[in-house]
Every structure is written in C-alpha cells, then in structure tokens.
Amino acid sequence: MRTTTENGELALLLEVSGTPKPGNVDRHREYDDLRFEHFVTGAVCAREGLQLAADGTAVGEAFRRAVAGMSQQSGGNTQFGALLVVTPLVRAAVADELTPAGTRTILEETTVEDAAKFYEAFEYVDVAVDDPPDGMEPLDVRRGADAVPTLRAQEITLEDLMERSADRDGVAAELVNGYPRTFEAAAAMLDGTGPVTDRAARAYLDLLADEVDTFVVTKHDRETAEKVRQRAQAVRDGEEDVDTFADDLVERGINPGTTADIVAGALFVALERGLEV
Amino acid sequence: MRTTTENGELALLLEVSGTPKPGNVDRHREYDDLRFEHFVTGAVCAREGLQLAADGTAVGEAFRRAVAGMSQQSGGNTQFGALLVVTPLVRAAVADELTPAGTRTILEETTVEDAAKFYEAFEYVDVAVDDPPDGMEPLDVRRGADAVPTLRAQEITLEDLMERSADRDGVAAELVNGYPRTFEAAAAMLDGTGPVTDRAARAYLDLLADEVDTFVVTKHDRETAEKVRQRAQAVRDGEEDVDTFADDLVERGINPGTTADIVAGALFVALERGLEV
C-alpha cells in the first residue's frame, strides 16, 4: 500500500506525465527554460512538505515547506497551484475525510497563521497573479512575508483569502467550495480505462472544455481563455486535432495552469480511492 | 539544497525521463504492460528504502525496503538493478565518501545479513536471471528467502555474492570494482551541456556502445548483446538513426537494462556533485 504522502507526490508526477495536455509541459512537450525535468524535480522536493501535512502539520506551514522544496530546481514555478490544491487534500485524507465536506472542514479550520505561511510561500518563486483590487495593495501576495503584519492586524485566515479570490481563481474556488471539479474528475478517472496518464490527459481536456482556465485569464484575458475553452470542447467533440491545439498553445505561451492543478488534485483523490497504477 | 535521498529518487526518475534510450521504457516509448507510469511509481515508492540507507540502515535492508516499495505498482520489475546500483552509492554519499574507494569500502563492510536481505528482495518481483552454475542451485536467487540458511551456513556476504556474479552481471561488476563506468558517465554528464534528460540519454548511448549489456546477454544471448553494442556505436558515430534503432529494439523486446541501471547511478553521482536541474 502506498502512503498518502507517496500518493501526493505521485499525483504531481502523473499529472505532468499525462500527454497530450495542451498548453502545459508534459512528457512530450516542454519549453526551453521550463522542462519536464523541472516538474519532476519539483515533485520530488515538494514531498517533504506533503509529508508534514500527512503528519499533522497545519496546512499553511506544510504548503510553505512544499513550495520551498518545489523551488529546488531552476525552472521556476512548476507546481505552486497544484500544491495549493493537494496539500489540504492530504490533510483531509489522513483525517479519513477525503470528501467535499471533509475538505470544507479543513479550510474552515485554517487560521491567520496558515494565511501568513501562504504569503511566505510566495517568497520562493514568481507566481503570475493579477494586481490586487483598489485598497487591497497591502495584501498583494507579491509582497510575500511583508504582508503578514496586515494579515495579522485584520485577522485574515487562509479560508478568508481563498474566499476573496474564489471568483477569479479556479484553485481558490475549489478549496472553498469542497473541490467539486476535483472530485468529479477523480470519479471519471476511476470509471475510466487504460493507462493512468491517458486518463489524466482526458480529465485535463474535459476540465478545460467545461470552464475557462483562470490562469489563462490572469496571464492573458478572458477572451483568450474562453477561446481556449471552446477549442478544448471542439477537440473533445472530435472537431479539432488535439496535437494541433497543443502545439498552437505552446507556441503562443498559453498555459492553462489552473486546469492542470485540478488534474493533480483529481489524481490524488483517485489514487487514494484505489486507482491502480 | 536537495537531500541525498531526494537525489536518489530523482536519479531514478531522470533516468526514465531521458529519451531516446533505445530498448528501454522512456518518456516517449513504453510497452503495453510496462509503462512510464510504472517507473514513476516505482521511484516514488522506492524512496523510503533510500531514506533508510541515508539514515544509516545497512545496505541489504535498505535495498530490500527500496525494492518492496518499488513493487507497489502493477508493471513488475522496474528498478531492481537501478536500486542495487544506487543504494550503496547513497551510503557512500552520506559517509562523504562518494568515490571509487568509498564505494569499495561500503561493499567490503557488507555482511551475511546484507546478503540475506538481498535474497529476500527477490521475493517482491520477478527478476530475469540466468540459471546458477552447477552445484550452486541452493544459492539460486530465485529461491529468495529459502536460500538464506545456505547463505548463513556458508557465511556469504553481499560482497561475496557480487564478486561471484561480476563476470556476467554488469551491475555486480560496478559494485565490486568501485563503480568505474558509473563515475565516468557522471563526469561526462557534469562536463556536458543542455537538459539533464538529454545528458542521461547521451550517457546511455555511450555506455551501450562501450560494453555489451549483460542483461541482454542474460535474456537473449551474447551475440544479440554484441550486435546491440555495435549498433549503439553506429548511432553514436552518426551511421544509424537513433529512433530506428530504438523502435527496432522495442519491437524485438530487447531491453539493455544494465546500461539503464548504470545511468541511474551516474545521475545520482552527478546530482550529488552539483549537476543543476
């Protein structure tokens, strides 16, 4: 039997091993400066943080350590979002509550300290984010640990932060809403057939076709993200070739990263529920 | 800084990520029943054994645990040989003696208990091996733990076992001879340029061109292995296309596994010596 920590790391590795995953690094497509090997290394070195989560360390600190580990490679940000998805799931799994309600409880129990550690995690890598709304500059995540005094003064928890971002960040939306898309994708993987990496690629395409990827909205704009969603739907419906789509997104530097993050979470849930590798 | 354990696991993952690696599973080529995902899972679950080695557990027991972990996937034997290469290297690295002499010392210090654990490791997966020489049937590794009473009666250490196999097993030869090919390949990787997985693929081809792969000798015969060596040399000399060679080997089920095992060891040494990923 694999441990929960092993399943956490394995989920990250299987996510990047799924191909084709249009727009993201996978085992057949990479960028010159962001390569498959960077994701592999990121996953290996994130494991210590996931182990902390499995051993009972609070979500924020476990996440911070996972990101610190992940950053031990030269590609930059590889799995920040995936770790934000997976870390609370690991906590829920070891509490034997890997359910929508169980993940809600994990979020509800987060504290100001978890929020502080979340901000500190931004110190390790550059994460593409939007400018904060007017008046929220003191809480710009890019301030990293400098924002912590404001967090403490305002008694903002990690759950509060996620709720504030949920309308524009698909990862935050999963966390505060009991991971609806993650659990649905996990169920589809468990019902599916064939190699796990093929199931991961299918889950990615389904998720991409169903909702706009908020990371693409952030890095580009909503129109671009909506077009990507429509093309993913066309691929799913057999109207567009997946490799053409994939090559085009890589060429234009469009990376539906939020969708990949959710696939990592779905893989973790499926592995915990007995998906055979 | 990555830990020695992380580098051990990472070496296994980067080994299988290097492509093209003619005849072996890599991230572009796999078999229906032995897939990339099996190697990824094997590496993730072998880590606990490598961690034991790093923490001071004897080579035999650490190796047994690594193989037990590795077997937590449905593809069968993925990294038995690679773990036999890497586990003593991990012990040497944590002793700050990752040198030919240092690895010799690790082997010299092995005991009958290490030999017993080595035999027990064969219980977890089917490993392709030759029939033992006449009179050696009681020590056939396929007997697994059943051979242990004989080992104890004859006071055979892990070093003794490796010395007996060194003339027909390239992994055993590395272990008893101070890892000459491993260190040479590691030096070439450190001198090289480009993505680490490309360096791993180059190292594989160089090793395959330089000496016959003993796993191919065992599974097929020496003539087949020598032809594979010659073709690898032709590829290296630009006289044969690497993909044609790779496709042909996969089709014929010829897997130069010993060469891949040594690449894993070389990656570990290079990572410990500062190879940047």
Cβ contact (<8 Å) for B73 and A277? Answer: yes
The pLDDT of residue B128 is 83
Which chain A positions have a beta carbon within 8 Å of B25's beta carbon?
Answer: none
Model pLDDT, residue A98: 98
The mean per-residue pLDDT over the stretch A194-219 comes to: 97
Phi, then psi, of B226 in degrees rounded to 5: -70, -40
Residue of B nearest to A51 (CA): B48
Question: What value does the mean pLDDT take over residues A41-59?
Answer: 98
Instruction: Check B36 against A28: CB less than 8 A apart.
Output: no
Domain ranges of chain A: 4-272
Among all chains, which residue has been given the structure tokens 């030919």? Answer: B100
Read off the pLDDT band of A250 (50, 70, 90).
confident
Q: Write down the pLDDT at residue A135.
A: 78
> What's the average model confidence in pLDDT over B127-152?
88
List, for residues B203-221, the tens digit of each pLDDT value.
999 999 999 999 999 999 9
Q: What is the pLDDT of residues B229-269, one digit of tens each?
A: 999 999 999 999 999 999 999 889 999 999 999 999 999 99
For residue A10, the chain B residues in CB contact (below 8 A) are 40-41, 44
- pLDDT at residue number B134: 81
- Asked if pLDDT for residue B136 goes beyond 90, the answer is no
Q: Read off the pLDDT of residues A149-192 as tens digits, 9 standing for 90 and up.
A: 999 999 999 999 999 999 999 999 999 999 999 999 999 999 99
Q: Does domain B4-272 have CATH number 1.10.4200.10?
A: yes
pLDDT at A134: 81
CA distance A95 to chain B (A): 22
Residue in A9, A28, A38 nearest the CB of B28: A28
pLDDT in tens, B11-58: 999 999 999 999 999 999 988 999 999 999 999 999 999 999 999 999
Least confident interval from A110-124, B18-32, B124-138: B124-138
- Are B195 and A35 in contact (CB < 8 Å)? yes
Nearest to B74 among A44, A74, A277 (CB): A277
Considering CB atoms only, which of B9, B10, B36 is closest to A27? B36
pLDDT attached to residue B206 = 97
User: CA of B277: which chain A residue's CA is closest?
Assistant: A73
**Chain A partners within 8 Å of B197 (Cβ):** 35-37
On average, the pLDDT of chain A sits at 96
Residue A184: per-residue pLDDT: 98
The chain A residues in contact with chain B (CB within 8 A) are: 1-2, 6, 9-10, 13-14, 17, 27-28, 35-38, 40-41, 44-45, 47, 72-74, 195-197, 276-277
Write the DSSP symbol of residue B78.
S
Contact A48, A69 (CB under 8 A): yes
Q: Annotate chain B with three-state secondary structure.
A: CCCHHHHHHHHHHHHHHCCCCCCCCCCCCCCCCCCHHHHHHHHHHHHHHHHHHHCCCCHHHHHHHHHHHHCCCCCCCCCHHHHHHHHHHHHHHHCCCCCHHHHHHHHHCCCHHHHHHHHHHCCCCCCCCCCCCCCCHHHCHHHHHHHHHHHHHHCCCHHHHHHHHCCCCHHHHHHHCCCHHHHHHHHHHHHCCCCHHHHHHHHHHHHHHHCCCHHHHHHCCHHHHHHHHHHHHHHHCCCCCHHHHHHHHHHHCCCCHHHHHHHHHHHHHHHHCCCCC
Closest alpha carbon within chain A to B199: A37
| Spatial separation of the C-alpha atoms in residues A32 and A75, rounded to whole Å | 9
CB contacts of A40 in chain B (<8 Å) are: 10, 13-14, 17
Q: What percent of chain A has pLDDT over 70?
A: 100
Query: Which of B37, B65, B276 should be substituted to probe chain A, the one whose Cβ sees the most A Cβ atoms within 10 Å?
Result: B37
